[in-house]
Amino acid sequence: MGTKAFLCLKRERKETPISDPRINDRIRVPEVRLVGPGGEQVGVVRVEDALRLAEEAGLDLVEVAPDARPPVAKLMDYGKAKYEAAQKARDARRNQANTQLKEIRFRLKIDDHDFEVKKGHVVRFLNQGDKVKVMIMFRGREQSRPEAGIRLLQRLAEEVGELATVESLPRQDGRNMTMVLAPTRRKSDALTDQRARRQAERDARRQKHEERAQKDAQRKNQS
């Protein structure tokens, strides 16, 4: 193989990675089981007819199940679908990277006031989109009462049930019992709400300042 041909082949492989599905005229089979853009089943058609339908609709013919017999192909806007998939993957990575694991410690013999204070911290972390590792530290003979620790953690999980799911069930390890709560809202959504709330507070302060300045100006004019 000549150098020029090798470079052309290398460039072609770079432009069409093996992981990408075959689309349009790269689908080299006699017929496909065609799925419409809305998920409707069209049936088994010749690949030429499927390509014609795709062209008439201004869409792409994308092979979504190459190992099926015949292969399954779908009419879709491949560029748009690929972009949306990349956006979702990027958001998922960003959300995963931003999520932190906070830790809150409880005592087994905790009074209602302290429980509510600790629960408030848990709620704040969950509202921020962070996971919470809840830990109970057993003292002395308390280690022989794991069921009391489980009841306390279950109580907490139930009271924050609208904000979190139990990702890791209560588990005892020596003197400690832990449970992990995962927020039901994404970190990115929490950050967006937080920024919007701060902006609203700044706008309110600015409006209040402007109103005060207008009142001062009116008093000066009247005097």
pTM of structure = 0.45
pLDDT in tens, 133-179: 999 999 888 888 889 999 999 999 999 999 998 988 888 888 899 99
pLDDT in tens, 133-146: 999 999 888 888 88
Taking CA 206 as the corner, what is the angle to CA 201 and CA 209, rounded to the nearest 5 degrees?
Answer: 125
pLDDT in tens, 62-117: 998 888 889 999 999 999 988 888 887 776 666 555 668 899 999 999 999 999 99
Strands 41-46 and 60-65: unpaired
Residue 93 confidence (pLDDT): 67
Residue located via tokens 């792409």? 60
Q: What is the mean pLDDT of residues 202-219?
A: 79
Positive or negative torsion for Cα 57, 61, 64, 67: positive
**8 Å CB contact between 161 and 218:** no
Residue 81 confidence (pLDDT): 85
Q: Which of 4-8, 33-37, 145-149, 205-209 has the highest mean pLDDT?
A: 33-37
